[in-house]
């Protein structure tokens, strides 16, 4: 069937919104009013609607219809061959999906190619720290974001975390490449496919008996949720850089922000919610991210799975302890304790005492011969963690990595 049926249109266009609206009045929601002004956004204006009640209507209704028509497996298969931003879409795609992707792949008018070129310089120079912070600040933090932890745990991807990590890491990799948003790059494709995957999750998770039992929302991945996760990425990374006294010139910092603003737009976040500056980003993060961080049984299990993923390297003898200590060091005691990450009497002090001089040596601020003796012994450990981290991510990949629209939940 090519035309969406009345039922599917109703389900998509109306029901998703209506379900959300039904919960507007619940008291649990009443206590966190949305006060962040759209004047601080890249759009500079907007309705100011609370993003908890805004999803991605266009993508959500399209995917509702694809799911109902049974078109998703065919679409996933066809889209595997669509990898480059400038590449034409494969033939055989349903017309409504093709129209959507053609619109969704267009960069917004505020795209600044000079800033994107500068962002690449920054990514190149800081790839090492970006890897560690994306993995241990952003990645592990996601398990302490209740909505995200539950959505990930009960969605299809929750059944195979290594596969999920490689797919998510692809986005972190793509955004750092030279041509990220250019025709030869892949970031636009990755964002549009992720937008579709998220729309799949919005349609499917409300049908999961497991998710509905624990969730405090009727539809997952609202625009507010999207911004929370967004802040766990660039905003958190920049905070870590500042903590580690890594000097970032103003133009590089603005460029890095720009690349993530663009990513947000391409992921379907409305411009009126995307902060226009780091000051605005920090203000918004204080409102949406900091207060919601909390443990959940799902997040605790996910954190444990993530820390065990590297066990194949050494049977878990060292890796789990080192990664646990690195997580505690990066995210702090509170979050580590929530996630039930054990204290590491050997490794916690190693990071606490030796990571700052390690960074200082790498930054050329400290001469290695003048660094503490222990650092000279542990220097290779830090470097090794970074190398093994890359290996871990690559080892989980089924090439080519292809982000897909899910058709089921976990467990099905």
Where does this chain bind ligand HEM (CB under 6 A)? 147-148, 151-152, 155-157, 164, 167-168, 171, 194, 197-198, 201, 220-221, 225-226, 229-230, 267, 403, 406
Q: Give the Cβ contact number of residue 407 at 10 Å.
A: 16
3-state secondary structure 149-176: HHHHHHEHHHHCHHHHHHHHHHHHHHHC
Q: Which is nearer to ligand HEM, 226 or 359 (CB)?
A: 226
For residue 41, the SS3 value is strand
Q: Which is nearer to ligand HEM, 226 or 360 (CB)?
A: 226
Q: Which is nearer to ligand HEM, 116 or 151 (CB)?
A: 151
Least Å distance, CB 304 to ligand HEM, is: 18
Least Å distance, CB 222 to ligand HEM, is: 8
Q: Which is nearer to ligand HEM, 72 or 226 (CB)?
A: 226
Q: Are 31 and 84 in contact (CB under 8 A)?
A: no
Least Å distance, CB 411 to ligand HEM, is: 12
Distance separating alpha carbons of residues 131 and 117, to the nearest angstrom: 19
Least Å distance, CB 260 to ligand HEM, is: 8
For residue 275, the SS3 value is strand
Least Å distance, CB 229 to ligand HEM, is: 4
Least Å distance, CB 6 to ligand HEM, is: 28
DSSP H helix total and E strand total for the chain: 23, 0
To which residue do tokens 């646990």 refer? Answer: 324
Q: Which is nearer to ligand HEM, 56 or 225 (CB)?
A: 225
Residue 23 burial class via C-beta count within 10 angstroms: exposed 0-12, middle 13-18, buried 19 and up: middle
By Cβ distance, which residue is nearest to ligand HEM?
Answer: 157
Strand partners, 155: 409
What would the two tokens of residue 221 be?
A: 């991945």
Closest CA relative to residue 261, chosen from 230, 215, 288, 236: 230
Strand partners, 351: none
Q: Which is nearer to ligand HEM, 152 or 326 (CB)?
A: 152
Give exposure, 339-371, as e/b (b: 16+ Cβ within 10 Å). Answer: bebeebeebbebbeebbbbbbbbbeeebeeeeb
Q: Which is nearer to ligand HEM, 164 or 276 (CB)?
A: 164
Least Å distance, CB 204 to ligand HEM, is: 8
Least Å distance, CB 354 to ligand HEM, is: 31
What would the two tokens of residue 108 be?
A: 């917004």
Q: Which is nearer to ligand HEM, 84 or 321 (CB)?
A: 84
């Amino acid at each position: 069937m090519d035309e969406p049926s009345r039922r599917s249109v109703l389900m998509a266009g109306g029901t998703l919104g209506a379900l959300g609206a039904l919960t507007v009045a619940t008291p649990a929601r009443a206590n966190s009013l949305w006060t962040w002004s759209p004047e601080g956004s890249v759009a500079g204006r907007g309705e100011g609607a609370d993003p908890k009640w805004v999803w991605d209507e266009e993508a959500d209704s399209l995917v509702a219809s694809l799911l109902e028509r049974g078109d998703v497996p065919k679409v996933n298969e066809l889209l595997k061959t669509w990898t480059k931003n400038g590449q034409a879409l494969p033939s055989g795609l349903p017309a409504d999906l093709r129209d959507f992707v053609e619109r969704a792949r267009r960069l917004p008018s505020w795209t600044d190619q000079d800033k994107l070129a500068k962002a690449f310089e920054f990514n190149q120079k800081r790839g090492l720290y970006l890897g560690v912070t994306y993995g241990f600040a952003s990645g592990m933090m996601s398990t302490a974001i209740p909505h995200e932890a539950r959505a990930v745990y009960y969605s299809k991807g929750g059944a195979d975390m290594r596969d999920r990590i490689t797919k998510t890491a692809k986005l972190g990799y793509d955004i750092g490449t030279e041509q990220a948003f250019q025709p030869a790059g892949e970031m636009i494709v990755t964002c549009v496919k992720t937008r579709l995957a998220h729309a799949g999750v919005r349609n499917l998770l409300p049908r999961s008996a497991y998710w509905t039992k624990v969730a405090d929302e009727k539809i997952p991945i609202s625009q507010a949720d999207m911004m929370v996760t967004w802040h766990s990425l660039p905003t958190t990374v920049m905070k870590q850089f500042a903590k580690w006294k890594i000097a970032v010139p103003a133009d590089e910092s603005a460029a890095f922000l720009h690349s993530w603003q663009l990513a947000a737009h391409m992921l379907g976040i409305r411009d009126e919610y995307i902060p226009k500056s780091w000051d605005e980003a920090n203000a918004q993060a204080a409102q949406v991210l900091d207060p919601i961080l909390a443990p959940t049984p799902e997040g605790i299990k996910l954190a444990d799975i993530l820390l065990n993923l590297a066990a194949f390297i050494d049977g878990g003898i060292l890796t789990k302890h080192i990664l646990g200590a690195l997580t505690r060091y990066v995210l702090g005691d509170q979050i580590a304790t929530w996630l039930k990450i054990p204290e590491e009497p050997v490794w916690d002090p190693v990071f606490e005492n030796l990571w700052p001089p390690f960074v200082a040596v790498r930054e050329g601020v400290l001469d290695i011969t003048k660094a503490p003796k222990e650092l000279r012994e542990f220097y290779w450990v830090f470097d090794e963690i970074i190398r093994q981290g890359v290996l871990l991510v690559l080892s989980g990949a089924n090439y080519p990595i292809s982000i897909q629209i899910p058709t089921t939940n976990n467990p099905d």
